[in-house]
Structure 1
Amino acid sequence: MTAIDRRERAPEVVAHDVDEVAVNLSGVEHWFKGPFGRVQTLKDIDIQIKAGEFFSLLGPSGCGKSTLLNIVSGFIEAKAGDVMVFDKAVAGPSADRGVIFQSYALFRWLTVLKNVEFALYRRRLPKAERADVALQYLDLVGLKEFRHYYPYQLSGGMKQRVAIARALAADPKILLMDEPFAALDAQMREMLQQELLEIWQRTRKTVIFITHSIDEAIFLSTSICVMSANPGRVKALLRNDLPQPRADYRVRTTETFQENRQRIFELIQDELRPHRVHQAIS
C-alpha cells in the first residue's frame, strides 16, 4: 500500500490558530556539576515555536540539543528560565508530549499491534476500540500487515515506524524526536524522512526534531534553530522557505535548498573553527 493510499484513511488534520504558541522558552539555562566545577550546557535560550510547526534543532555535538529536548519533555528541569507548553509551565512528563528516541524503545515481548495499543491505555478506550485505533496508525505508517510480528522480526526502519505510530496513537499535542533516523542506512533514512513529512502534513502535529544532518533539517522543517557550541545558545533562527508539500526527493536539487544548505553549513562551521574551540575551553 502506498503512502497516498494510506492517506485516504489517515487521521484528520488538526486545526491550529496560526498565532498559537506551542512552546515558549524564555531565558532557559542548564548546567551540571563536573569534577572541576559547574559545566554550563545551555545559556539564555529564547525560542517560540508555533503550533503546527516542524521545528528542527541543529548544531555541533555537545551543544545541548538533547538536553533542551529533555527539558521540554519534562524529563529534566531547567536550572533557570521559563518553559511553557501551550501556556502551561512544564512540571514533568505529560501525555501532551510524545517522545520518539533513536533506540525505538519498543517492548520486545509485545507484538507490533500491542506496542501501539500500549500508548492508548491512558486514553481509557475500550479494548476493541484500542485495537481499531492502533490499526489505524499502523496503516498510516504502512505496517498494518505486520501487526502480529514482534520487534525482533522487523528491520530498523520498520521498528522506527512502529515507534512513530505508537507516539501518534497517544494523540499528543507535540512530538519530540531525538535523532530518530540516525542509526539507519542512507536509503532507509530518506524513505522515512518522506513518510514522516507526509504524516506531519496530514496531522499537523507540532514537531521538535533533533538532527545532525543539514539536509534532513532543510527537507523536513518549517523552521530551524542553529545552536552554538557548548554552552548551547541560539546562534540563528531560520525560516525555511521551501514550498510545501515537499515530500519529494527532487526538492533537494533546487537552488533554494542548496542556498539554505550553504548558509547553515557556514553557521555550523563557524562554531567548529579552532578559535571557537579555544574560547570554549579557556
Structure 2
Amino acid sequence: MSCSLNKTVLSAVLPPFLLTQFVLGALGNGLSLWIFCFHLKPWKSSTVLLFNLAMTDFLLILVLPFRASYFLSQLQWNFGSSFCNICLFMLAMNRSGSTLFLMAIALDRYMHVVHPHHPVNFVSPSKAMCGASVLWLLAVSMSAQVFTLNHTNSTYCQSLSLPDTELTWHKFSFAFFFYIPLLVILYCTVSITLHLRRRRFAQEAKTKHALRLLIVVVVVFVICFLPSNITQIVMWYRINKAAKNKVCADLFTVFNFTISLTYLNSVLDPVVYRSAAPAPGLGHSGEP
C-alpha cells in the first residue's frame, strides 16, 4: 500500500506559513546575531549558548523558501536529489541543535541558581564555545544519516515515508532529541521553582528572572516540538493497527503540518534571547 497526501490542503496552507516564518525568522535572528556580534560585549558562557541557538535558527530559515516551493508545487521537488538531502539535513540538524541548545540554556540557568558556586559557572567563553562545538558535533552526526536517503522518485523530498512501521535511526534521533531535552528542561524548571520557595526575599529577583527564562524555554519547546512527536507516536500505533490508505493519508498530512511547527522555533527563539536580557538589579546577561 502506498500513502497519498492531501496535496491541495498542504499547498494552500504550508507555503504562506513557511514564508512568514522565513521573513520573521530572518529579521529576528539576523538582528539577534548582529547584536551578539557587534553590541554585546564582553561575552559570557550564557551568551555563547544564545549565539549558537541563533545560528541554528538562521541556518534553518535559509532552506524554508525551498520547502515552501516544494509544497506550493504540490510535493514536486525541482532542485535535484542532492540539494533535497542538503535541505533535509539542515532541517534535521536545526531540530536537534535547537533542542540541545535550549536544554543547555536551561542547564546553565539551573546551575547558576541552584549551584551558584560550582566551577562550571565560571568557565570562560572559549571553553563554553568548546562545549557548544560538542553539541554541534552531536547534532550533525545524528542528522548526517539523511544523506544516505535514496529518493527513487526525484521529485519527492521527504525524510519519512509511509507506511513505515519500523524503528529507523531517523525516527530514533527524532524522538531522542525531543524527550531527553524535555525531561532535562522540566527538571531544571521544577528545581528552580522549588529553590525559589526556599530563597530569602532579597535574593528572589535573580531567581525569578531565571525562572521566567525557563518558562519561556518550556513554552517554546512544547509549542514547536510536542505536536510532531505526538503525531509520530500516533502514526506508529494507528498504521500498525490498521494500515488503511485513508488513515495513512490523514496522519501523514497532519504530520507535515506539525513538522512545520518545529520550524517556528526560529521565529520564537528571539523571545528566549529577550528573556535572557538582564533584569533590573542583575548583572550582564542576567546571571545571578
Q: Same fold (TM over 0.5)?
A: no
Higher fraction of helix: 2
TM-score under structure 1 length normalisation: 0.28
TM-score under structure 2 length normalisation: 0.28
Mark the structure with the bigger radius of gyration: 2
Task: State the structure with bigger RCO (CA 8 A, min sep 6), 1 or 2.
Answer: 2
